Chain A
Amino acid sequence: ILNVEQSPQSLHVQEGDSTNFTCSFPSSNFYALHWYRWETAKSPEALFVMTLNGDEKKKGRISATLNTKEGYSYLYIKGSQPEDSATYLCAFPHDMRFGAGTRLTVKP
């Protein structure tokens, strides 16, 4: 089992702040990394599928980068809004085990 580690466990920011969090993974045998957004009382939904070292993907105010050599991916949220409040999960798709997630709370 290859584990992904996420940090921080939780994050509280003010509306308008930009923020970022980390997913760390074993750099050997890498072929992809997934990011998901999970709102309370809903189901997880995919944000990004990252495959190439140096990948940078963007969806609105949310973007992600990937460094496969050092084994980490960053998720950035620019100008956080209350509706961004959710748990953000990463997963190694070789067995779709998720990290513990980063719970983001954006205060108005």
Chain B
Amino acid sequence: DAGVIQSPRHEVTEMGQEVTLRCKPISGHDYLFWYRQTMMRGLELLIYFNNNVPIDDSGMPEDRFSAKMPNASFSTLKIQPSEPRDSAVYFCASSPSLGNTEAFFGQGTRLTVV
């Protein structure tokens, strides 16, 4: 397996534009996580899915953020409208289960909102 694949690797957009980040988890992994790396909060959990169902979205900062997982091999994180304070590296990770198995991270998407 190629591992967790995120796209794009880098995204530069103007304030107010819609941004969509994409993630393909490792095949067979039932859990998918979205994180944001910030200076203030380190690696912050935004939302996670189990079998394509959102389980905990309490980390989603505000209504401008939304995440979907239409099938087991694809998830999106959308920001609409984007703001400069959304600039960060966004990571996606997947895991076969919660507990005895590790999570595997994608390479991240560096988002810059100007």
Contact = CB atoms under 8 A, between A and B. Distances in A.
Contacts of A99: 42
A34 B103 contact: yes
A1 B58 CA distance: 10
Given A43-B91, A43-B106, A45-B105, A93 B45 contact: no
Contacts of B100: 32, 49, 51, 93
B43 A98 contact: yes
Interface in B79-114: 91, 93, 95, 98-108
Q: Please classify how large the interface on chain B is, using the bins under 10, 10 to 19, 20 to 34, 35 or more.
A: 20 to 34
Contacts, number: 58
The secondary structure that dominates the A interface is: loop
Given A96-B33, A98-B45, A43 B108 contact: yes
Contact of A49 (B45, B93, B102, B105): B102
Nearest to B97: A93
10 nearest CB pairs, A to B? A46-B102, A43-B105, A32-B99, A98-B43, A100-B42, A97-B45, A93-B99, A93-B98, A44-B105, A96-B33
